[in-house]
Amino acid sequence: MSLLELTKISKHFGGVRALHEVDLSVDAGEVVALIGDNGAGKSTLVKIVSGVESPDTGEIRVRGESARLVSPRAAAEAGIRTVFQDLSLCDNLDAVQNLFLGQEKYGPMWSGRRIRRHVMEEHAHRILESLSVKLRSLNTPVVALSGGQRQGIAICRALISDPAVVILDEPTAALGVSQRAEVLDLIHRLRDQGRGVVVISHDMKDVRQVADRVVALRLGSKVAEFRRGEYTPSDLVGAMTGAHEGDSSVPAGATEGDEL
Amino acid sequence: MSTATASAPDTQRTPAGRAIEMVTGGNRSIPVLIVLAIIWTVFYSQSSAYLSFQNITNLTLQIATTAILALGVVFVLLVGEIDLSSAVLSGVCAAIAAGLAVNSGLALPLAIAVAIGAGMAITLIEALVITFGVPSLIVTLGGMVILQGLILVVLPPEFTVSVAGTSFAKIASTAVPAGASYVLAAVGTVAFAAYRFFVYRERISTGTRTSPVSIVVPSVLVAVVLFGGVYTLTRQRGLPMPVLIVAVMLLIAWYFTTQTRYGIHLYAVGGDREAAQRAGVPVRRMVIYSFLILGACAAVAGMVDASRQLGVSVTSGAGPLMLNAIAAAVVGGTSLFGGRGSIWSAILGALVIGSISNGVQLLGLTTEVQYFATGAVLIIAVAVDVVLTRGSLWPGRR
């Protein structure tokens, strides 16, 4: 059974067709890469899965059960966490406040929901350490941190609630070489923990390195699906750009994937 | 946002950037305290009466209304909105309370409750229109004009209510006797130290780094402020009630903005609305809460002011009160762009602005000097805010 299964998801913005009957499934312990050119509908799909947007039609199943992801909170409760490309950190808050934003640990009602900062700090230390994210201080507003540190905090934030599915939107786009390797390492670690991981990426090198399965979108539709080792780099580029259109190159993996 | 990411490491390396980093966050009050010290030194050098016990007591009474209103404005600024209507609203609420208590003979606590309720109801309507999508500048500008009309409706035909000699006037004229004030200061100090000890124990229990210094130093500071304040302000007749009201409101506001989940969400909404929304923070509700707090603060400010002026009239809440309250919040270090600042900026900013006008009057200088100085301080404060928000001293270096 898939952790997350999307069936025939469509979404329009006004007259613009952003997604058309897209299917996608993620199993436990699997990394699925979502690729596509600009405007292919990757971001819309991410927004739908993370509860920011609702699909016009189509069904979302989480662990086999139909789910309505009407808000980010509903998606989080269903066990889906998203790390957005812009990281969605509040610049004016510190690392601990950002990590727990929306899922703070707080005391009883009579205390006015007093935050249990010491518990949160201890938890934050543990989780940041497990991914070796190094910070000078947990009390510095994140605007003063480096791009890699901010990415680390954003990914750690997704892990606070121990989600089943983690969605990473362009996780390596803003990073240097060593930090990129760290993030790819982290994606493997997420998979080894038995989570389902969806990685949206432009970078074919990253995709080939981490993905067990690659799904290509073009102009809002799913055009191809490849399994690890069953594709060449030019297959990916071809599927993204439509360069091989009309070629008989719809790979065996695609039909197989559709039946899943 | 991505531009902020790119500029962050740069600002850290330049000395100016480091200085900017230092005065943001928790140390944001320090520049204001320095400005306050300069103002006091300048006026004191001109007239030694400026820092007399009597004048300081006067000053605190003069700024009480501004400080209470500024406190409400801070909440609205923190979520990235603005309000122009709360000063007139304070007049409307005062007219309601005074009308009910003096003319209709309603019990004072009930009249006060009705006025606070009315204030919150009006700001609730404004907030609903704002969360619907109309800019708060426009909603509250229109609201201000409507409220100027409403105050004419609420006031009796003669357009004034005198509260002289009634229980209403006692709100401002009551003074807590010196003995009781010292007891209050002692209780406050002990409670604060106990709280710090509680936090210390909490942090030890999870192995978080901490030290007993985190109990002692802040507690000594609080003791100095409380006992120094009580000593200064009780030289005349005892601790004035408005000062106590301001102190209690600040205490409550401090707790909720810094110690609770509500506070984190408040700052998150002001810092980055979309990020807050994605994290599951109820953004619209937080905006509405802020305006409700503003409504309550405006009502209290209006009643304290009416009680001190011994009446309500069409000019209640008019004049410079609104701009002074906004200026106080901003001068005190609360950003106009949302998400940065603290509730202390309300009292510190009100002190700065009050100190200038008090000093100008004491020295018998002309009114224009007061306007020049207050306006200049406001512009400088916003310029500092712009530099801090941009993270760079010079424009175009993002």
Q: Under a CB-based contact definition with an 8 Å cutoff, are residues A147 and A174 in contact? A: yes
Q: What is the pLDDT of residues A116-146, one digit of tens each?
A: 999 999 999 988 887 777 888 888 889 888 7
- Alpha helices (runs of H) in chain A, residue ranges in sequence order: 42-49, 72-77, 95-99, 117-130, 147-159, 177-192, 204-210, 233-241, 252-259
Contact A90 B260 (CB under 8 A): no
Domain assignment of residue B203, yes or no: no
pLDDT higher for A173 or B320?
Answer: B320
Amino acid present at A161: S
Q: Please answer yes or no on whether A101 and B8 come within 8 Å at the CB atom.
A: no
In the prediction, which pLDDT does B26 show?
52
Task: Give B128: exposed, middle or buried? Use CB within 10 Å, 0-12, 13-18, 19+.
Answer: middle
Contact partners, residue B27, CB within 8 Å, separation at least 6: none
Segment B238-273, tens digit of pLDDT: 899 999 999 999 999 999 999 999 999 999 999 999
Q: Do A122 and B11 touch (CB under 8 A)?
A: no
Cα A256 to Cα A178, A224, A231, B3, B266: the distances in Å are: 36, 11, 14, 43, 49
Copy the structure tokens of residue B212: 């007993």
Chain A residues within an 8 Å CB radius of B275:
86, 88-90, 101
Pick the residue from chain A with its C-alpha nearest to B390.
A143
Interchain CB contacts (distance < 8 Å): A and B: 120
Q: Provide the pLDDT for residue B378.
A: 82
CA distance A191 to chain B (A): 23
Given a contact cutoff of 8 angstroms between Cβ atoms, the answer to whether B161 and B224 are in contact is no
Residue A204 is predicted with a pLDDT of: 85
Chain A environment of B258 (Cβ under 8 Å): none
| Residue B343, domain extent | 2-177+234-390
| Contact (CB<8Å) A86/B267 | no
Secondary element (H or E) of residue B266: helix B261-271
A183-228: per-residue pLDDT in tens?
888 888 888 888 899 999 888 888 888 899 999 999 889 888 999 8
The percent of chain A in helix, strand and coil, each rounded to the nearest 5, is 35, 25, 40
CATH number of the domain residue B378 falls in: 1.10.3470
Question: How many domains in chain B?
Answer: 1
- Among all chains, which residue has been given the structure tokens 């003669």? B158
Residue B307 has pLDDT above 90, yes or no: yes
Q: What are phi and psi of A112, to 5 degrees?
A: 70, 30
Q: Which of residues 266-295 of B touch A (CB under 8 A)?
A: 267-268, 270-272, 274-281
Band of residue B396 on the pLDDT scale cut at 50, 70, 90: low
The top-scoring range by mean pLDDT among A205-209, B315-319, B346-350 is B346-350
Separation in Å, CA of A200 to nearest CA in chain B? 18
Residue B53's beta-bridge partner residues? none
**Residue B394's pLDDT band (cuts 50, 70, 90):** confident
Amino acid letter for position B294: L
Single out the residue of B252, B236, B259, B100 nearest to residue B175, CA to CA.
B236
Task: Tell me what the mean pLDDT of segment A155-173 comes to.
Answer: 87
> Is the predicted pLDDT of residue A176 greater than 80, yes or no?
no
Q: Is the pLDDT of residue B328 over 50?
A: yes
- Does A1-79+165-171+195-260 carry CATH code 2.60.40.1180? no
Task: Look at B264 and A113 and tell me if their CB atoms are within 8 Å.
Answer: no
Comparing CA positions, the residue from A143, A141, A192 lying closest to residue A166 is A192
Residue A65's CB is within 10 A of a number of other CB atoms, namely: 9
The rounded percent of chain A whose pLDDT value lies above 90 is: 27
A93 and B268: CB-CB below 8 Å?
yes
Helix, strand, coil % in chain B, rounded to nearest 5 = 75, 5, 20
> Does residue B305 carry a pLDDT above 70?
yes
Whether pLDDT at B130 is above 90: yes
> Between B214 and A256, where is the model more confident?
B214
CA A159 to chain B, closest CA, distance in angstroms equals 13
Spatial distance between the Cα atoms of B30 and B332, rounded to a whole number of angstroms = 10
A122 touches chain B (CB under 8 A): yes
| Residues of chain A positioned with their CB less than 8 A from the CB of B16 | none
Q: What single DSSP character describes residue A24? A: E
The answer to whether residue B130 is domain-embedded is: yes
Distance from CA of A105 to the nearest CA of B (A): 8
Stretch B301-315: mean pLDDT, rounded? 93
Q: φ and ψ at B310, to 5 degrees?
A: 65, 25
Report the candidate in B177, B194, B192 with the shortest Cα–Cα distance to residue B223. B192
Please report, for chain A, the start and end positions of each structural domain, with discontinuous segments joined by +. 1-79+165-171+195-260, 87-162
Most A CBs within 10 Å: which of B203, B267, B272, as the mutation test of the A interface? B272
The mean per-residue pLDDT over the stretch B42-58 comes to: 92
Predicted confidence (pLDDT) per residue in A73-102, tens digit: 888 888 999 888 888 899 999 999 999 998
Structure-block tokens of residue B200: 């210390």
Q: For residue B20, list chain A residues with Cβ-Cβ distance below 8 A.
A: none
Q: Give residue B4's pLDDT.
A: 37
Per DSSP, helices labelled H in B133-240 are 136-154, 170-173, 178-205, 213-233
Does residue B223 have a pLDDT over 90?
A: yes
Between B35 and B307, name the one with better pLDDT: B307
Q: What is the pLDDT of residue A38?
A: 84
- A86 shares contact with chain B (CB less than 8 Å): yes
Residues of B in contact with A71 (CB under 8 A): 280
Contact assignment for B260 to A73 by CB distance below 8 Å: no
The CA distance from B23 to B112, in Å, is 40
Comparison of pLDDT for B12 and A46, the residue scoring more: A46
Pick the residue of A46, A90, A110, A114 with the most B CBs within 10 A to test the interface with B by mutation.
A90
* Residue B105 forms contact with A (CB below 8 Å): no
ipTM for the whole complex: 0.83
**Residue percentage of chain A with pLDDT more than 70:** 93
Q: Judge whether A87 is closer than 8 Å to chain B, CB to CB.
A: yes
Query: Which sign does the torsion angle of CA B380, B385, B388, B389 carry?
Result: negative
Count CB atoms within 10 A of the CB of residue B204: 12
